[in-house]
Amino acid sequence: MKIRVGFGYDVHQLAEGEEFWLGGIKIEHNKGCVAHSDGDVLIHAICDALLGAANMRDIGYHFPDTSNDFKGIDSKILLKKTVEIIAEKGYSIGNIDSTIALQKPKIKALIPKMQETLSKVMGIDLDDLAIKATTTEKLGFVGKQEGISAYATVLIEK
């Protein structure tokens, strides 16, 4: 068996009047992500980590923000396609560890729903997807509630 690891990172600006999608679910909040797609930073970080682990470039290469095909797209569709792309090269997901950096809203209670949603999209066991959340103690763009970021580390197997 061959195993590989990958790392992904994404960031989006937060603005009033935008929908807020995170971990595949819509969250009620006075701000949402400014983005070409739905702006789900967690999914985007996971996609980048999976593609990187398989040495298949990045999310922008496969789903460019210059294409109208992806304007406003549900990021769960991108995630499902990413899993299919790495499977074409013979890889499957071993596990995912991720962290969301967000000052507000508090999302601890929503993490199980995110895990359930994303594990179904990827066809993996719930126990193989860790999602954690942190603040930046009011420091930087996250702390000032100007943006959100997410990090993901994945293990894939062939």
Helix segments in 12-110, DSSP class H = 41-53, 59-62, 75-88
Helix axes 41-53 and 75-88, enclosed angle (nearest 10): 10
User: Can you give the pLDDT at residue 65?
Assistant: 86
Question: pLDDT 10s per residue in the chain (158 long)?
Answer: 999 999 999 999 999 999 999 999 999 999 999 998 999 999 999 999 999 999 999 999 999 888 888 888 999 999 999 999 999 999 999 999 999 999 999 999 999 999 999 999 999 999 999 999 999 999 999 999 999 999 999 999 99
Helix axes 111-122, 41-53, angle to 10 degrees: 40
Residue 5 tokens read as: 């690891």
Q: Check residue 67 and give its pLDDT.
A: 85
In angstroms and rounded to an integer, the radius of gyration of the C-alpha atoms of the chain is: 15
pLDDT for 24 equals 98
- Please give the pLDDT value at position 73: 92
User: Residues comprising the binding site for a divalent metal cation?
Assistant: 10, 12, 44
- List domains and CATH numbers for the chain: 3-157 (3.30.1330.50)
Q: Which residues are annotated as a binding site?
A: 10-12, 36-37, 44, 58-60, 134-137, 141, 144
Q: Which residues contact 135 (CB under 8 A, 6 or more apart)?
A: 101, 102, 103, 142, 143
At 62 the pLDDT is: 94
Phi, psi of 138 (to 5 degrees): 65, 20
Q: Which two three-digit tokens encode residue 66?
A: 């210059």
Write down the pTM of the prediction.
Answer: 0.97
Largest CA distance in the chain: 48
Residues 6+ apart with CB under 8 A from 137: 143
Res 108: pLDDT: 96
pLDDT at res. 151: 98
